[in-house]
Structure 1
Amino acid sequence: MGRRKLEMKRIEDKNSRQVTFSKRRTGLIKKARQLSVLCDVDIAVLVFSAHGKLYESCSGTSSNSHCFVENILSRYRKSCIEAGERTNNGAGGDLEVLSQCTKFRTCKELLQMVDGLVEENNSEELSVTDMMDLEQELDAALVQTRLRKTQLMMEYISTIQEEEKKLTADKEELEKQDKVAHVNLSINM
């Protein structure tokens, strides 16, 4: 029996969804390792389950995979900042770089991190660099939130416009039927 094409939508059955997540996560990590070996590149894979559990994998020779993931993420941030400095000519480029720098972190996680910093460490204990990094991530999260809000609003507007077109067509159809009914009434009288 051959494979069938799977429709890309959320799997409704909880058990099937968990099995699929586990198998595909394993496959993703396997492919990442293969790409790392074949092309001699550093790869970090971070996956958060629906319940918030973190699964991480990375290529490299480090015995502590978490430290190596942190190393790759710090390299990523550094490259984003350097790219931001190169494209700092316009504000649009600035916002784009900021949103790319924190793509790996959700807004919820960012807020939890900020809450943790505020509760654990008084903000006086944070360095200026830490505060600037935090401010940059908050700005990026705000940009991402606004972009998502705009996207949702545009989708809502287009849905309303489609409904309006349908209602207009229905109204025209009813008016035609009403005219036909009036014509039939006049003929019968």
Structure 2
Amino acid sequence: MGRGRVELKRIENKINRQVTFSKRRSGLLKKAREISVLCDAEVALILFSTKGKLFHYSSDTCMERILERYERYSYAERQLAANDQQPKICEENWALEHAKLKARIEVLQRNQRHFMGEDLDGLTLKELQHLEHQLDSALKHIRSRKDKALQEQNNILAKKIKEREKAMVNEGGAQLEQQNHNMDDSSLLLPQTSLQSFNIIGSVSLF
């Protein structure tokens, strides 16, 4: 005889419930991988245990892309349904926008925790490699911006130094020209002793 239909309800025994969860979770993840490989389907599976532990599978290296695609499709479907209920369209649009923003915030918060090295236990090898690639790209971008800023500061300082050197050269040239001019004027004047000698010689000649 075949086994009778089992009524689906919450398993009261905590140990049995945990064992069943572990078995069904493994089977669910296996089925998700199989359908993604066999049927070339995009699959995203998210599962939280009663203790809040995350288990997930994604056929894409980045689950966010699948989630964003799901959000677009579900939003379009709900938008069509909202058009059939014109009096509530504004309220539904706000609710949909709120749901989209809330989902986006959760994705960003999860990514932030990953970037901080937190909640990495549930990530696959491909997801860890993708995370490492993102961190490397971000560091290269930061270094590039920092080097560019330093180069701009160096250019400004070099320009100021050249302007200062040019001003000093112009100032020195002006001083040298003034000194030469003073020397030319002084050469036209006879020394005081020469004038006295000239007067004495003139006086003797008169006698």
Q: Which protein shows a greater Rg?
A: 2
TM-score normalised over the length of structure 1: 0.43
Using structure 2 for the length normalisation, give the TM-score.
0.40
